[in-house]
Amino acid sequence: MKKILSVMLIALLVCSAVFANGSSETKAEPVKVLTPTQSIIKQAEGMTMEELAKKAIAESNGATFYGVGNSSRGKTALPLFIEYLKSIDPSYELKFEWQQPKNNSIFEMLDADSKKAQGTFAMTLIQDGNQIESKMVQTGLLDRFIPLEWAKANGTTADKVEGYLPLQTLNKVFMYNCTGSKTYKNVWDFVMPGEHGLFMGIQSEPVGVNFLYMLTADKYADELKEACDKLPADKKAIVEKEVKALSKEAKDFGLGENGAYGLAWIKLWVTSYNEQTDDGPICNTLVSSSATDQFGLLVYSKLRSVQESDSVSKNNIKVAAYEDDYEGFGGYGYCHYLFVTDNSPLPWTGCAFIAYMTCTQPGFNAWGKDIGGYSSNPEVAKANEERHHHSVSGMAEDGKTVKYKALNDKGLAWWLDEGGLVVEDPEYCANVAFTVGSWIEGLRK
């Protein structure tokens, strides 16, 4: 009997071991080995703003902070961040330098810095979701950090957030000079024969290319189809002819049912726009009384710097999407994203600065003080948009108050809904960059 019991016990142990091994092999997931910076970020994502500030003070007191970004306003936000840290520890001191590389060379700069065991830059503010995805994130050069208070404001937690951390969404919108009688009632009006919109070249600003990529996504292609259906018969015939001619390309690219409408708008736009070097000159042209019947697609916030004169006024232009009977999308949106560099020399301070910009109104004020920049934090965004959601007034040379309808920023929620803003999706852009992207490149040749 003892021998029988022993044999049964051994068999049971063997079966248990086999079952356990089989179970572990089935359920086990590969364990991700965190880099030192990623380990710090994991801790930081559970800390409040004040707790992060204390970590930053301990790490960087007396040091020099180097940041790099596509926006020069990081240089404006950093002194406010330092003042915040000094309010916690009056003895705190931090020197800083903020760089804004030209000609989209930020990717090359960050790549070169990543080769060092310890980098120069503590963090970055960067745009162009396509290249961020393919060159920075997939390669492990940049690490995502989601501040605790930002996640709470968005009703989630860091581990459930998809994508990157945006500081803000910016919009480029269709504006046209209204000193004449010409109007634009439909997004297809901008690509009709004889139209030549002012636009930064797609070779000089990648976010403009990403905008075109997004028009082939189902959501926006469907919207283009709907706008086409509301065109007068003669204009609709022009569009349908292009759609039919591009149906094979749409199928080859694996696009959805209305993908050819996206390709048609892209083709008509890319082969007709009047290429400009920057949005500033475009804005200066459109607000002139001599620019009758001209239009452009440009950063909305450029209107803030227009100086009124006898021949120049913000009342010389209209924002197309603000007109009651406008059909289709009114522009496109793209984000400034925030990352900690994986070889950051000051990771705690980088995290704290990112939290300060995304979780406090003073931190975002460098961008939020103007129209056309929308915080990704709902609480910060609400506070900022309350300042802009009205007819902005100015003083004319004769001392009279003037209201500028074009400055009546309706806020991000309006733009995403009624304004039909086309919003950049980094993953989608990266997926179609080879197919649709190669096709677009051939259009301007």
The mean predicted confidence, pLDDT, of the chain is: 89
pLDDT at 16 exceeding the cut of 50: no
Average pLDDT for 307-321: 94
pLDDT band at 9 (very low <50, low <70, confident <90, very high): very low
Angle 27-30-32 from CA coordinates, rounded to 5°: 140
pLDDT band at 223 (very low <50, low <70, confident <90, very high): very high
Q: Look at 26 and 360; give whichever has higher pLDDT.
A: 360
Residue 291 β-bridge partners: none
Instruction: Give the global pTM.
Output: 0.84
Q: How many residues does the chain have?
A: 445
Q: Is 307 exposed, middle or buried (0-12, 13-18, 19+ CB in 10 A)?
A: exposed
Q: Which residues contact 319 (CB under 8 A, 6 or more apart)?
A: 173, 174, 175, 300, 330, 406
CA dist 311 and 52 (Å) reads 51
Q: What is the pLDDT of residues 413-425, one digit of tens each?
A: 899 999 999 999 9
CA dist 145 and 339 (Å) reads 6
List the structure tokens of 25: 């092999």
Q: Look at 21 and 355; give whichever has higher pLDDT.
A: 355
List the structure tokens of 76: 């404006």
CB contact at 8 A, 60 and 349: yes
**Pairing mode, strands 392-395 and 295-299:** unpaired
Q: Which residues contact 250 (CB under 8 A, 6 or more apart)?
A: 216, 259, 260, 262, 263
Q: Count other Cβ atoms within 10 Å, centred on residue 111.
A: 13
CB contact at 8 A, 307 and 162: no
Nearest to 45 by CA among 352, 362, 345: 352
| pLDDT score recorded for residue 371 | 86
Which long-range contacts link 388-392 to residues 24+ away (Cβ below 8 Å)? none
pLDDT band at 126 (very low <50, low <70, confident <90, very high): very high
DSSP structural state of residue 159: G
pLDDT band at 14 (very low <50, low <70, confident <90, very high): very low
Query: Roughly how many angstroms between the first and final C-alpha of the chain, as a whole number?
Result: 90
CA dist 431 and 133 (Å) reads 10
Nearest to 363 by CA among 371, 372, 355: 355
| pLDDT score recorded for residue 4 | 39
Q: What is the pLDDT of residues 269-296, one digit of tens each?
A: 999 999 998 999 999 999 999 999 999 9
Query: What are the CA-CA distances from residue 92 to residues 52, 55, 163, 198 (Å)?
Result: 14, 12, 34, 48
CA dist 169 and 377 (Å) reads 11
Greatest mean pLDDT among 44-48, 99-103, 273-277 lies in 44-48
Q: Count other Cβ atoms within 10 Å, centred on residue 292.
A: 14
Q: Is the dihedral of CA 269, 272, 275, 281 positive or negative?
A: negative
Q: Where does 161-252 show beta strands of DSSP type E?
A: 165-177, 198-200
Residue type, 382: K
Domains of the chain: 36-168+335-382 (3.40.190.10), 170-331+390-441 (3.40.190)
pLDDT at 403 exceeding the cut of 60: yes
